[in-house]
């Protein structure tokens, strides 16, 4: 019986099978829905299905859904966002979009701390702390602390060579 109910010629199963980008167009006359979907798209999740199970999400996708939920809330300008490799699995264009979202958070007075290996994200940072020189027992030491420009010139930095 549930599948007999339709909206604009589509039942609930068909709607849940839509990706976020398509749903934005489908629900264009519903500002509250569009607002939430735009936030999802702004963090690079336009390809996700509306009905996708949380257990099917990668760690990066789950993290970006949490970020989208935060973005949809009223900002106090006093929030610390800690993100662990938010660009994993993202296309270059989606990384640019995510950087724009993170910049907007900072412009509102929030602080964004990311653990990241993507050089585009490192270049866009205000401040970089490089830990190393290796992982595990051979790591965890501060190799560099400063701006991306200074990181580029630092001879001890492994990361600076790639910026």
Is the bond leading into 51 cis (omega within 30 degrees of zero)?
no
The helix (run of H) or strand (run of E) holding residue 7 is strand 6-7
Domain spans, the chain: 2-126
Report, as an integer, the average pLDDT of 57-62.
Answer: 84
Q: What is the pLDDT of residue 88?
A: 83
- Mean pLDDT, all residues of the chain: 91
pLDDT over 90 percentage in the chain: 61
Q: What is the pLDDT of residue 32?
A: 93
| 2-126 to CATH, choices 3.40.50.150, 3.30.420.10, 3.90.930.60, 3.40.50.300 | 3.40.50.300
Q: Is 133 helix (H, G, I), strand (E, B) or coil?
A: coil
- CB burial readout 25-60, b (16+ within 10 A) else e: ebbeeeeeebebbebbbbbbbbebebebeeeeeeeb
Quote the tokens at residue 147.
């701006």
Q: What is the pLDDT of residue 124?
A: 96
Q: What is the pLDDT of residue 142?
A: 95
Q: What is the pLDDT of residue 70?
A: 79
Report the Cα 66 to chain-centroid distance in Å.
Answer: 9
Q: What is the pLDDT of residue 74?
A: 74
Statement: residue 27 has pLDDT above 90 = yes
Kind of pairing between the strands at 10-11 and 6-7: antiparallel
Q: How do residues 107-137 score in pLDDT, each as one tens digit?
A: 989 999 999 999 999 999 999 999 998 888 9
Q: How do residues 60-107 score in pLDDT, each as one tens digit?
A: 788 889 888 877 777 778 889 999 988 887 788 888 888 998 998 899
Q: What is the pLDDT of residue 116?
A: 95
Q: What is the pLDDT of residue 76?
A: 74
């Amino acid at each position: 019986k549930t599948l007999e109910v339709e909206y604009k010629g589509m039942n609930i199963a068909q709607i849940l099978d839509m990706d976020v980008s398509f749903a934005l167009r489908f629900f264009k006359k519903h500002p509250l829905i569009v607002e939430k979907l735009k936030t999802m798209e702004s963090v690079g999740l336009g390809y996700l299905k509306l009905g996708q199970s949380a257990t099917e999400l990668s760690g990066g996708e789950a993290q970006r859904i949490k970020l989208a939920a935060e973005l949809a809330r009223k900002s106090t300008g006093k929030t610390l966002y800690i993100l662990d490799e938010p660009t994993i699995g993202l296309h270059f264009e989606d990384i640019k979009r995510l950087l724009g979202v993170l910049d907007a958070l900072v412009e509102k007075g929030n602080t964004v701390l990311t653990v990241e290996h993507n050089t585009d994200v490192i270049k866009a940072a205000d401040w970089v702390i490089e830990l190393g020189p290796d992982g595990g027992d051979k790591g965890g030491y501060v190799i560099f602390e400063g701006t991306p420009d200074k990181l580029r010139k630092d001879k001890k930095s492994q990361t600076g060579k790639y910026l």
